[in-house]
Structure 1
């Protein structure tokens, strides 16, 4: 096994990459309320944990080194490419940055940020008018911003899985679902029958198939703040 000393311990890259994605999420999501900051903080913790293992300390590689060396004796565990564990486990050959999982990862992350930005624009406009968000992503799902965060996090897991982020992911999903339920209770109190009609016509997380969307689904979505 050869040793690539430059593969890890690159703390400037940890800081730089964490800052880039956290700033992107902040600029697209525009957290304002305590609930927003809570969801944004959890997302930021996931990002820092991810890049700490990607460029700083490969804790998952260390913990799994015995199993990995036994199962994949030809893999250089000290190399950066070995950190792409799905590529190692599924036996992908060549540069892991160009395999199908990495490409899917980039698509999930890109779509997530686009959805986050589009949802914020609609929500902000609704808030300015003290009304309900009903156009754009809110015409298809009731919680597009949380869907966006989930897509981004899932994309990163496809790219670079770690024990910590794999553990954090279901906990973050649970947190986003609970926050969504809290928002819906507030929306029902604030908008009554109007929100009930919207909720009955618009799925919470996944858009309805084409041709199966109930009528009246543009009656209005929740303005959370």
Structure 2
């Protein structure tokens, strides 16, 4: 991360490097194969590019809100790089924003999201090789763990560095993932028939049952490991 002694913005090389690194990192976890996979991955990549453009290139959100921010928080240098951590600045945490609670929480969401995407891909890949229904691992908790993972990663980045553009993109991409998930459900129902109907009746789409997460639910037909 940059500090106030370095140029705050206009660092387009960092925009490119960070975008490429995180997109390739996400690719290594998700490994898109179908056209539907590439659409979801492309939308996520666009979110990352928009994020890093404002983080290192041009702070559109800061410029747009500068009058309001300066009048309400006059002791903050809003054009320093650290000030881009808007939530940390606005809540006035007396610490380096990179060690603030929102920043730490963002890393938890981002890390957990990537782990979930990776774990779900391994289960899905194995199921595809045998043309069977993916129901183990993350798929025993939710129907669409990879989409949940993408949403968690995006939410984590919003906690760390919220911008007008990414805040606008987040609900749009979430709706897109939900629609893609419904399409996948129709395809799976057509391919696996009653087996998928029983599975979908037992497992939520996006939000896992707390009783299952904490192991207090009696083991059902699709609960694994």
TM-score interval w.r.t. the shorter chain? over 0.9
Q: How does 1:77-156 map to 2 (within 5 A)?
A: 77-156=78-157
The answer as to 2:222 corresponding to 1:217 is: yes
Describe the superposition over 1:190-209 as per-residue Cα deviations: whole angstroms up to 9, x where unpaired.
11100000001111112212
RMSD: 1.5
Q: Is the 8 A contact 1:109 1:152 kept in 2?
A: yes
User: Which whole-Å CA distance do the structure 2 matches of 1:191 and 1:159 have between them?
Assistant: 41
Q: Return 117-126 or 88-97, whichever deviates more.
A: 88-97
Structure 2: distance between partners of 1:5 and 1:212: 53
Distance 2:78 2:184 in 1: 45
Task: Kindly state the Cα deviation for residue 54 of structure 1 after the two structures are TM-superposed.
Answer: 0.2
Provide the aligned length of Structure 1 versus Structure 2: 217
Runs of 5+ in structure 2 lacking a partner?
none
Q: Cα deviations across residues 17-44 of structure 1 (Å, max 9, x unaligned)?
A: 1111100111110111111000000000
Deviating above 3 A after TM superposition, structure 1's stretches of 4 or more consecutive aligned residues are none
Q: Deviations over 1:62-87 (max 9, x none)?
A: 00011011111111011011111101
C-alpha separation in 1, matches of 2:69 and 2:89: 9
| TM-score computed with the length of structure 1 as normaliser | 0.93
Q: Return the TM-score normalized by structure 2.
A: 0.93
Asked if the contact 1:202–1:214 (Cα under 8 Å) also holds between the matched residues in 2, the reply is: no
Residue aligning to 1:192: 193
> CA, structure 1 residues 102+39, in 2 after alignment: closer, same or farther (shift >3 Å)?
same
